[in-house]
Amino acid sequence: MLNKYARAFFTRVLTPFAAFLLRRGVSPDAVTLIGTAGVVVGALVFFPRGEFFWGTIVITMFVFSDLVDGNMARQAGTSSRWGAFLDSTLDRVADGAIFGGFALWYAGKGDDNVLCAVAIFCLASGQVVSYTKARGEAIGLPVAVNGLVERAERLVISLVAAGLAGLNGFGVPGVDVLLPIALWIVAVGSLVTLGQRVVTVRREAAEADGSPTAHGTSQGSEA
């Protein structure tokens, strides 16, 4: 939902910055790689130590690269399948680092096995939610559903909560409960979204297989 309404706004806001980078000879792929590296460092250096405020600040500085690189490619007329593949692949890496950082905190000094498991579930379910759409589209289905909690929602909910929870280290009381609440929301929301996409793919597949122009497809394993 956020992806649908917020992406256009931030694309307009970031267009001048994207144009500036192009004039300086920076490539969209370089922005994608640097942005992902920044997110991974912010998540895996700060979050496992419980430094949620500073980790969120670092991640936020780099997370918008996901919008900047695509904007740059469109402005330069260099949009490509490779660029789309690289962007999507590294998005999964960044997401894994964020929730992996939460899991490492709760497995260590955070000392909460339940929340560690919830963070791991958020990591895994986020990957599967993305996979269901990609796999459905790969077999020729539109997968015409957004879902309750997509990538944008997962990031906003978890990072805002982490940043606020990090204020506990500056003496703000009670805010440390926000991150556990956010993780549970993301976990449940991702499960609902997964169900929405599976149901949609099943319906679209049944309609496609029942149409006179439908072609048979073989089932195989995904590498």
Q: What is the pLDDT of residue 131?
A: 94
pLDDT of residue 216: 46
Q: Euclidean distance between the first and final Cα of the chain, in Å?
A: 30
Q: How far apart are CA 203 and CA 157, in angstroms?
A: 30
C-alpha R_g of the chain: 19
pLDDT score recorded for residue 149: 93
Q: What's residue 154's pLDDT?
A: 95
- Separation of alpha carbons 90 and 67, rounded Å: 13
- Evaluate whether 159 touches 59 at the Cβ level (below 8 Å): yes
CB 101 within 8 A of CB 55: yes
* pLDDT for residue 222: 44
Report in angstroms the alpha-carbon separations of 10 from 3, 13, 18, 181.
Answer: 10, 5, 12, 27
pTM to 2 decimal places: 0.88
Q: Would you write out the chain's pLDDT as a tens digit for each of its 223 residues?
A: 555 566 677 778 888 998 999 999 999 999 999 999 999 999 999 999 999 999 999 999 998 888 898 889 888 888 889 988 999 999 999 999 999 999 999 999 999 999 999 999 999 999 999 999 999 999 999 999 988 999 999 999 999 999 999 999 999 999 999 999 999 999 999 999 999 999 999 999 999 998 654 444 444 434 4
Please report the pLDDT score of residue 165 as a whole number. Answer: 97
111 is catalytic: no
Instruction: Kindly name the residue from 69, 87, 91, 95 that is annotated as catalytic.
Output: 91
